Amino acid sequence: LQKSLSETFGADKYSRARKEVLTYMFSRPMQMALYFCTGVLEDETLFHHYALNVPFYTHFTSPIRRYADIIVHRLLSASLGARSPIKMEKEAIQKQADHCNDRKMASKRVQELSADLFFSVFVRVRP
């Protein structure tokens, strides 16, 4: 797939834009990751990461980027004994996770609509 896409991109002034749009469009159908509090789920198989094929997985990036990452950093730090435990009930943590998921989905939808608009303009002006 990557090889055929690379051939499709071409080498003209629109090649970079074509690459970004097509790569994005092909990755859109992938299931989006969701934040959740492990304390509210009883089925540990839900902690599995399909692509990495590992039974337990957590993901976070720099805590300056997203609130969910700040929570994960704090929980991980507390579990390692580097800081005091967070004084939040698991239900409150799940509520925060749900809110982060809602915002992430809304952001993704706006991004998709923007890409669709760009693509339609691109196709219209392209000879």
- The alpha helices in 1-127, defined as continuous H runs, are 2-9, 15-27, 67-79, 90-125
**41 and 71 part of one domain:** yes
Q: How high is the pLDDT of residue 2?
A: 66
**Whether the model pTM is above 0.85:** no
**57 and 94 part of one domain:** yes
Q: How high is the pLDDT of residue 55?
A: 85
**111 and 53 part of one domain:** yes
**66 and 96 part of one domain:** yes
**12 and 58 part of one domain:** no
Count of domains for the chain: 2
Q: How high is the pLDDT of residue 1?
A: 65
Q: Report the alpha-carbon distance of residue 56 to residue 7 in Å, rounded.
A: 38
Handedness of CA 119, 121, 124, 125 (dihedral sign): negative
**pLDDT tens, residue by residue, 50-76:** 778 888 888 777 767 778 888 888 888
Q: How high is the pLDDT of residue 29?
A: 64
**9 and 42 part of one domain:** no
**96 and 63 part of one domain:** yes
Residues spanned by the domain of 52:
33-125
**96 and 84 part of one domain:** yes
Residues in the chain, pLDDT under 50: none
